[in-house]
Homo-oligomer: A and B are copies of this chain.
Amino acid sequence: MLSNHLQNGVETAKLIWSRLPNAEDVSDAEPDEDGVLRNDGFGGVESLDYEVIENYAYRQEQARRGKLYVWYYVGVKWFFALLIGIGTGLAAVLINISVENFAGWKYSLTFRIIQSSYVAGFIVYTVINLALVFSSVFIITQFAPAAAGSGIPEIKGYLNGIDTRGILLFRTLIGKISGSIGSVGGGLALGKEGPLVHTGACIASLLGQGGSTKYHLSTRWLQVFKSDRDRRDLVTCGCAAGVAAAFRAPVGGVLFALEEVTSWWRSQLMWRVFFTSAVVAVVVRTAMGWCKSGKCGHFGSGGFIIWDVSDGQEDYSFEELLPMAIIGVIGGLLGALFNQLTLYITYWRRNYLHKKGNRVKIIEACLISVITSVISFGLPLFRKCSACPDSDVTSECPRPPGMYGNYVNFYCTKDNEYNDLATIFFNTQDDAIRNLFSAKTIHEYSAQSLLTFLAMFYSLAVVTFGTAVPAGQFVPGIMIGSTYGRLVGMFVVRLYKKLNIEEGTYALLGAASFLGGSMRMTVSLCVIMVEITNNLKLLPLIMLVLLISKAVGDAFNEGLYEEQARLRGIPLLESRPKNLMRKMTAKEACGNQKVSYFTRVVKVADVANILRTNSHNGFPVVDHTRTGETMVIGLILRSHLLVLLQSKADFQHSPLAVDMRSQSIPIRHSLSDFVKPVSSKGLSINDIHLSPDDLEMYIDLAPFVNPSPYVVPEDMSLTKVYNLFRQLGLRHIFVVPRASRVIGMITRKDLLFEDNEDSGPVELQSTSVRGRQQGGSTRNPEVEHPLLNGLLE
């Protein structure tokens, strides 16, 4: 019996935490395999769940933890949600205004020059693009390498439990914002939406740690979020805020965070995430209202992608479902191909090109910029202009390029002509999409132009993906999809002449299908598409094409983010266990892995040795009972051991355990010593200097262990273990032998205190706590379970 150990002189860890009835354990703050302290389980109460790293440090916290502190804590949480919303909204506004101004200025300058010379115009256009792209790639390579790419796979990994170095730093934030402005303003085939999600996450994370310590921007009073769980909640808010800002889709943002990025979810968090998204919507709306008065330069109604198709098709007939299904299939095929091609190219880049250093990265980006400029300027030159439609024209024709609207006049001989290829190619992406989505503009584009654009832009998007600039895939995806969607729409218009068909609606469906075929999101994408088009009536159609394109795409490969995450070595735990696991037991999964363990009181030399010779991040701690049996008293983390080794405060000369029953244990560590540094690598064993004297000392690990990590019996199905692991977001599970007896069984009724009429557990609880406070060793389990022992004899 356990109490035997307690009654005799040997102090087991059991006693230590039983003396602190409130003590939560530390399973929720365990280090990742990369040695960074992470918090994955969430054992605490939501309103006040900063993690207790060690039991006696916990006592210090108790003093601060009054009723008032709880209110302060909850208040700060909501205040942070507000700040994240405002910050992300402002970042989005900044990026959009900058991009629109750079691009607008670029196009109007080019247009002015081409009135006299197309060659000069081309040179100016190319140079401006090159300069912008160079600024972006320079910032990224020199200053913030973690800001390259979309950042969504990394954020997904972070929320799934894996830290990628540097993704949430202040410099990454700055790099992401300025890099986005350069790369999007420079006309590359990429978007600013993915980077905005990353930006939101960075803002959230920086707020969570109370600012950036490196740049002396931190404030002390905001550092209430000690636990990694709180930080991850904030990052989830930041993600949703990013999507909400990018698409002005608050509901879509919440669902994106829910579906795509987080591995786990609580409804309390959902409400906070939704609040953040709504704040973003207000900020963006306010800023756009302010810009309407012309204070933002070239920033017109553009910038934020809201493609209002409310003028478009309101109804659909049965015959249209077939072409829509075809769009879905095309989307699935092209999306899967896109994933595959980008995977190959990224793989090649990682292993060959980018190994050659930053210079190559810069040259590569600049080269792509020049190619993009040549194609987007050059191709429309070869396109014959069409005459402006005479009747039923709602928009001006022709218009100068880069300005809002259809029917761009570019290299046309007559005044009332327009260049349909230039309308989509020689334009900002937002305007191009708006033009592709536009209703009441039947026959604006020729099939030839659309096909040319599709082939060219698809290739550019594939090649551009993975360059060392911040790059989102949403807008390129929408561009590609809406092009073939409109193409299908053109055929449908020609085929079913009588129907009220708008090519713009087909373009929208095409966009949805390509995103579905590439990113494989479902609900969130659907809602985002509905929100950006502001037309709920298209929901069933969007859903239809998404269902088809996702199914088609899934037949070939995984989603874009999953593929990229795998390529980058981010081990995402999927939501469903593999079939293989059904055939395995827990024991087989841990397999021939060596379990290194510590005894309760351990020599410092042994600790250092074990930490040096293996890379495990958690170690079981065992103790011996009087009868010589071993008993597992908990889990100790590598990072906590490193803190202990570095501080040396707990070293002792005697190999005997400290008597934890005496109140005289000096409090040598504060909670914050064990808190994970967000933006640094953390300690390494090689950083710690231990003198020969130190090595001869002992350390009692009992106060620092997580006394009750989750355990599974050795022969449990791995599927079950996987679900446990993922649902609770664990880091370590102990595989233990099958139990020899059952002490009790917990059912639903035992967890419902109010409704339990006999209130047995509650009464027992109070007596037990009393018993514990008297020392814990006076309890007699035989009395508490008189029948159990009789039955088990």
Contact = CB atoms under 8 A, between A and B. Distances in A.
Nearest to A781: B587
Contact of A743 (B265, B577, B714, B785): B714
A749 B277 CA distance: 34
Interface in A750-764: 750-755, 760-762, 764
A769 B589 contact: no
Interface residues of A, number: 148
A586 B617 contact: no
B274 A741 contact: no
A741 to B, nearest CB: 6
A46 interface: yes
A748 B743 CA distance: 30
Given A739-B631, A747-B33, A595 B787 contact: yes
Contacts of A707: 715
A631 B764 CA distance: 28
Nearest to A751: B722
A737 B740 contact: yes
B739 A711 contact: yes
B540 A281 contact: yes
A589 B18 contact: no
A120 interface: no
Interface in A716-769: 716-725, 727-728, 731-755, 760-762, 764-765, 768-769
B45 A576 contact: yes
Interface stretch (A322-330, A506-514, A567-575): A567-575
Given A43-B720, A711-B712, A742 B736 contact: yes
Given A711-B713, A746-B721, A788-B594, A259 B270 contact: yes
Given A711-B739, A750-B590, A583 B760 contact: no
A264 to B, nearest CB: 8
A706 to B, nearest CB: 10
A792 interface: yes
Contacts of A579: 45
A708 interface: yes
Interface string A13-41: 01001100111110100001100000001
A116 interface: no
Contacts of A285: 537
Contacts of A732: 745-747
Count of chain copies: 2
Contacts of A577: 45, 751
B45 A719 contact: yes
Interface stretch (A212-220, A526-534, A667-675, A697-705): A526-534
A618 interface: yes
Interface in A585-617: 585-597, 616-617
A495 interface: no
B720 A708 contact: yes
A373 interface: no
Contacts of A744: 586-587, 589-591, 593, 595, 714, 734-735
A717 B161 CA distance: 23
A622 interface: yes
A793 to B, nearest CB: 9
A269 B377 CA distance: 47
B632 A737 contact: no
Of A522, A586, A631, A750, chain B has the most CB atoms within 10 Å of the CB of A750
Contact of A589 (B268, B583, B595, B746): B746
The 8 closest A-B pairs by CB, nearest first: A590-B744, A736-B739, A591-B764, A708-B716, A271-B522, A735-B744, A43-B720, A620-B742
